[in-house]
Amino acid sequence: MEIDVSLAGHAETSSLRSIEKSLIHQLTKELPQNIRLSPHHSFPSDRWLLASSLQKCIRRGLLEDAADAAVALCSADREYAWRRLRVIAVEDIGLGDIHLVAAVIAVAGKRQVRNALGDLQLFVWLVQSLAAAMKDRTACDLLCWSEFSPQVASFRVKLLKLPPQWEPLALDGCAPMWQRLTALQLLAGFSVRTHAGYRMLSRANSEAVRRVVEALQLPPMVAFATLKGSGTELLNVALPFAYLLQEEAHVRPIHLAELGLQAAPRIGGFIAPSFCKHTRVGLRALRMLLHRDAELRSMLSQSGATDATKALGLALFQVESGLLDRVEDYAPKIRIEAERAELAHFGMTDDAACAALRMLLIERLPALNDARRTAWAEYLVEAKSSGEPA
C-alpha cells in the first residue's frame, strides 16, 4: 500500500487529507469480498476478554483465530472494537508496516466510510492483515519506559514548569531520546492515572506537535500516523522516535516465527494467552497460581516485589502474552530498559532475580493454564447465575 504524498511546507493539512483519502481509496480497491464473517466458536460478550484475545492472536499471526475474535468483539461493541484496533495497530505493528497502521487510523473513526465498505468485513480484513504483518513494538517500549522509569518521572516534573522548552527540546538532536519523547508527550497533552481516574498535566498543543513533526522530516506515513493517531494512549507520539532509532540502527535482524506460537492451548475457544492480567479470568488464574505455588511466592517475595500479582502479570507478558510471530528488532536496548522499568516499578530491581522469575514462570505455564481452566469454569457458572450472556 504505497502512497507517495509529501507533507512539506504550508500544504501540510491538505497533504494529511490527501493521504487519508488515498489510504481509504486503496482500501476500497483491495478489500476482498469473500471474508468469512461467522466465528468457529461461541464466545462470551466480555469485551475485555475478546479484545485481549484479538490482540494476542494478532501478535502471534493467528489469522483464523484473530478473525473469530474480531467478529465476536464487533458483535459485542463495534465502536470499541475500532477504537481498540487503532491502539493495537500502533502498539504491536508500528513501523513493521506503517502503511497498514496509517490505513487503520484513516478509516477507524469514519463510520460512514466503514458502513459504505461493509463495516464488519473491513474490520475482519484489517485484523487479518495486521496479524499477517511484520511487527514492531518499539514505540510501545519507549512509552512503557517513559511511564515506569523514575528518572523520566522526575524529569517530567521539572519540565512541567518550563513549557517554552518543550518544543525546542523535542527537536534537540543532542538530547537523550527519552527527554525528547517526554517533551513531545507534554505538547500532545499528557495525563497520569490516579485512583479517581486520570489527571491532566498538560493540554494538547496540536500546532506545536505539527511543527515538530514537520521539522523532523518524517516519512509521510509516519507523520500521518503521528498527527492523526490521537486516541492511541499517546503511542502515536512515540512513533517519530521509533523511526529515528530505526534510521540510526546499523543492523535490523528479522526474527521469524518463534516455536510454540502456533500451538497455544485453547480454553473455551480462546488461545490461553488471552487470559492475561487485564481480564477477570486471567487475573483470577494468576491469584490461583500464586496461592498454590509456594516456590513462586517465595521467589517474588525475595526479589522485593511490592505487589506479587502485578509483578507476576508483567513477567507473564514478557514470556507469553507479549510474544510476536515476526518482529523487526532494531532497538533491543529500549525493549530491555522498558521491561526493567516495568518490573522495577513493583520493587523488582535485580536483573538476575527477574530472569529467574521468567524462567520459573515458563516452567509453570502448564500449571497456569490449569488455573485458567478452573477460573474459566467458575466464570461461566457465575455468568449463568447472574444472567450475564456467556
Closest of 86, 88, 51 to residue 70, by C-alpha: 51
pTM equals 0.93
Measured CA to CA, the distance from residue 275 to residue 281 in angstroms comes to 6
Per-residue confidence (pLDDT) for residue 188, from 0 to 100? 97
Query: Containing H/E element for 193?
Result: strand 191-194
Residues near 191 by beta carbon (within 8 Å), at least 6 away in sequence: 198, 199, 200, 201
pLDDT in tens, 138-150: 999 999 999 899 9
CA 143 to chain centre: 10
Beta carbons of 242 and 221 less than 8 angstroms apart = no
Rounded to 10°, the helix 308-316/294-302 angle is 100
Q: Classify 41 in phi/psi space as left (phi over 0), alpha (psi -120 to 50) or beta.
A: beta
Rg (CA), the chain: 21
Per-residue confidence (pLDDT) for residue 35, from 0 to 100? 86
Beta carbons of 332 and 309 less than 8 angstroms apart = no
Low-confidence ranges of the chain (pLDDT < 70): 1-13, 251-263, 387-390
Per-residue confidence (pLDDT) for residue 259, from 0 to 100? 55
